Amino acid sequence: MAGKPKLYYFNGRGRMESVRWLLAAAGVEYEEKLFKTAEEFENLVKGGKLMYQQVPMVEMDGMCIVQTRAILKYIAAKYDLYGKDLKERAFIDMYVEGMRDLNDMIMFFPFSLPEEKQKNLSYILERATERFFPVYEKALKDHGKNYLVGNQLSWADIQLLEIILMVEEIKSDALSAFPKLQEFKVRVSKLPRIQKFLQPGSQRKPPMDAAGLEVAKNIFKFSKGMFLKHGTTIIAEL
């Protein structure tokens, strides 16, 4: 029997959280190697397993898989969460690419300069409610099924629930104008594997707090004066 997948990252959401969600939805148990110091991360780099000297990395099926989308696509395909044909996969890809854009905005929000936080928060909520959520609301309405693509759970559905919950952590009534997304959230949250992942004590990570931010900055040696950007909006200077 093959061993459990092993996830290499720091103890936070970041780009690994969507991987955790997807494995949980597939019912796959996994182990985590969570480094706490820069030295632990450097030792992993020196070990030669990281193709680009970056994480996330997932060790499974005899491979060390890097690059978030490569990891997610492999898991989705392996566990029948990636549509039944090329057309369905194209729609899944289109949906999750949009979700990734929104996810990145939220992921980098804790790095905002103090004087930029309110502007960045408004920007995130505006993009969520005016650009992204209307797309998924219409998709569910037009498709007329319980899921975004086809008639079974896919990677797109799992990532949509993840991003909905992330936005609601910022603004609890973010779905007030989107009845189909409200129904979707309730329906998918009740699926047994998802429901288990949403319970306290699971491997789901909480939002990044000040302590977690400092740990991430120390591990990855973010330097003073480095800018993290999303589009033309500067959202961090570390």
Same domain, 207 and 180: no
Residue 125 near residue 174 (C-beta atoms within 8 A): yes
Same domain, 107 and 184: yes
Instruction: Name the pLDDT band for 74 (thresholds 50, 70, 90).
Output: very high
For all residues of the chain together, what is the average pLDDT? 90
Instruction: Give me the DSSP letters along 133-177.
Output: HHHHHHHHHHH-SSSSSTTS--HHHHHHHHHHHHHHHH-TTTTTT
Same domain, 75 and 90: no
Residue 81 near residue 22 (C-beta atoms within 8 A): yes
With DSSP H G I counted as helix, E B as strand and the rest as coil, what are the percentages for the chain, rounded to 5?
55, 10, 35
Please tell me the pTM assigned to this model. 0.91
Instruction: Name the pLDDT band for 1 (thresholds 50, 70, 90).
Output: very low
Same domain, 114 and 168: yes
- Write the pLDDT tens digit of every residue in 87-119: 999 999 999 999 999 999 998 888 888 888 899
Same domain, 127 and 149: yes
Instruction: Name the pLDDT band for 222 (thresholds 50, 70, 90).
Output: low
Q: Which residues of 124-147 are buried (b: 16+ CB within 10 A; e: fewer)?
A: beebbbeebbeebbebbeeeeeeb
Domain that holds residue 67: 6-79+202-220
Same domain, 128 and 159: yes
Least confident of 14-18, 21-25, 41-45, 107-111: 107-111
CA nearest to 184, candidates 217, 149, 229: 149
Kindly report the CATH number assigned to the domain that includes residue 102. Answer: 1.20.1050.10
Q: What 8-state DSSP symbol labels residue 3?
A: P
Kindly report the CATH number assigned to the domain that includes residue 16. Answer: 3.40.30.10
d(CA 131, CA 98): 9
Q: What 8-state DSSP symbol labels residue 13?
A: -
Residue 24 near residue 194 (C-beta atoms within 8 A): yes
Task: Strands of the chain (E only): list them.
Answer: 6-10, 31-35, 57-60, 63-66, 227-230, 233-237
Q: Is residue 236 part of a domain?
A: no
Same domain, 67 and 30: yes
Q: Is residue 124 part of a domain?
A: yes
Relative orientation angle of helices 86-108 and 155-170, to the nearest 10 degrees: 20
d(CA 205, CA 218): 19
Same domain, 102 and 46: no
Same domain, 39 and 108: no
Model confidence at 231: pLDDT above 80: no
Domain count, the chain: 2
- Write the pLDDT tens digit of every residue in 193-205: 999 999 999 999 9
Higher pLDDT, 107 or 226: 107
Q: What angle do CA 43, 72, 8 make, to 5 degrees?
A: 20
Question: Look-up: residue for tokens 């990532």?
Answer: 159
